[in-house]
Amino acid sequence: MVIGGIDREETSKLKRKAEREEANLKLMKKQKTNESIQAFSAKSAEDNTDSDTDTDTVDEYLPESVKTTPKPDRQCQKMTISLPSLAKACDRTGVSDRSAAILATSVLNDLGVVSSIDRSKVIDRSKIRRERSKTREKLQQNDDQFDHTGIEGVFFDGRKDQTLTQVLGVDNKYHRKTVTEEHISIIAEPGSSYFSHTTPPSGSSKDITESLVASLKERNAKTDNIKVVGCDGTNVNTGHKAGVIRRLEETFEHPLQWLVCLLHTNELPLRHLFEALDGATTSPHAFSGSIGKRLLTCSEQPVSSFEPVHLTEQLSNVDPKELSTDQRYLLEMCNSISKGECSVDLAMRNPGCLNHSRWLTTANRILRLYVSDKKPSENLKTLVTY
């Protein structure tokens, strides 16, 4: 008699069967738990008033000076005031319900609305949650009732975002996957009101045009009345043969007034000059030439003696307080290069991110590289002079 090994195939079947039974048991428990939670939430929603009357929950959002005092009878009065502006601000900034409740109640305490004598205006997280839900529903109803038939202009802009989605795999099961999607926001004119949001299959002009036209049809907008279209100056939008605007004209069967963003046009001269002197780009954040490769670490280099480049126009009449951080850096760096001196404080400041779509920060880094280069090349001097 010989004792052999285990039956691997039968053991594998038994193991899979046990795993399925365990998974089904967990699923049943989870469903029962979800049903219990939903039943409890429904009951709580019916029982809830506009403010919680439980004193322990209210105390969570009160300052310490108010908590330690005796609780009068007025603390259990209902908070019946609507807070739509606070709800919109919370959604706009992404603040949690608990944080918003603490901040709002602290402001009311500083203003004297909430005190140890009167706690009826205390705002808790349940109040914030209900107000956010009501405000969202009201905004959706107003948007559905808005008449889009009279719009005369369409403005759109998009960006690519990393989006978490469900993808059907080879095993016929859905799996989570992060994909890059193009998101387009549409504004209607006159009034500059939000019109719609669409997600085309890709960033091509054909897919973007089809998504825009589908959104217009979905909201019953009359394309015969549309006279103006606005967007940024990328080639996908402004191509004279197959750009988005040209495709819209062919779809609407009438010409449109093109309103293209000039801020995107400002970056083109510097970009073309840089590519002509230093070479083409290699990625959205990198260059192929010697100057472009040094821009990434230019802010880490110490300042050296450099030859001043005198400006043809004076910048003394520019008010720095009216400029952004990057614009102020450019102004101060131009004045420093014109004088031939760069302070340590200015050299230690951040010139901004390196991105091909941000010509201002690219110019800042070119100037920062110049003040730290002991022997600048002629191409770098040309870029600094420009």
Specify the pLDDT at position 52. Answer: 43
| Distance of alpha carbon 365 from alpha carbon 371, whole angstroms | 10
- 50-98 confidence digits (pLDDT tens): 444 444 455 566 665 555 544 444 444 567 788 889 988 988 888 888 9
Please provide the average confidence, as pLDDT, over all residues in the chain: 82
Query: Looking at per-residue confidence, does 256 or 286 come out higher?
Result: 256
Residues ≥6 apart with Cβ < 8 Å to 315: 331, 334, 335
* Domain co-membership, 232 together with 288: no
The amino acid at residue 251 is: T
* CA distances to 22, 77, 121, 347 from 52, in Å: 41, 9, 11, 55
Query: If 0-12 CB within 10 Å is exposed, 13-18 middle and 19+ buried, where does residue 287 land?
Result: buried
Residues ≥6 apart with Cβ < 8 Å to 169: 175
The amino acid at residue 135 is: T
Q: Whole-angstrom distance between the N-terminal and C-terminal Cα of the chain?
A: 94
Query: Span 93-119, mean pLDDT?
Result: 85
pLDDT at residue 166 tops 60: yes
- 171-213 confidence digits (pLDDT tens): 888 888 888 888 899 988 888 888 888 889 888 889 999 999 9
Q: What percentage of the chain exceeds 90 in pLDDT?
A: 11
Please identify, among 113, 145, 177, the residue that sits at the C-terminal boundary of a domain: 145
* Domain co-membership, 192 together with 227: yes
* Domain co-membership, 251 together with 280: no
Query: Span 273-279, mean pLDDT?
Result: 87
**Dihedral angle sign, alpha carbons of residues 128, 130, 136, 142:** negative
Specify the pLDDT at position 58. Answer: 54
Nearest alpha-carbon partner for 309 in 288, 279, 334, 283: 334
* Domain co-membership, 120 together with 165: no
- 349-385 confidence digits (pLDDT tens): 888 888 777 788 889 999 999 998 888 889 988 999 8
70 occurs within a structural domain? yes
Nearest alpha-carbon partner for 246 in 201, 214, 208: 208
- 290-334 confidence digits (pLDDT tens): 888 888 888 888 888 888 888 766 677 788 888 888 889 998 898
Specify the pLDDT at position 41. Answer: 62
Please identify, among 145, 161, 177, the residue that sits at the C-terminal boundary of a domain: 145
Nearest alpha-carbon partner for 369 in 289, 268, 266: 289
> Has this prediction a pTM greater than 0.85?
no
Specify the pLDDT at position 247. Answer: 92
76 occurs within a structural domain? yes
25 occurs within a structural domain? no
Structural domain for 378, as ranges: 265-385
Q: Which residue do the tokens 């004045």 mark?
A: 335
Q: What dihedral angle (degrees, nearest 10) is formed by the CA atoms of 114, 115, 117, 119?
A: 40
Please identify, among 235, 260, 285, the residue that sits at the C-terminal boundary of a domain: 260
Residue 182 parent element (H or E): strand 174-189
Answer yes or no: are the C-beta atoms of 73 and 119 closer than 8 Å.
Answer: no
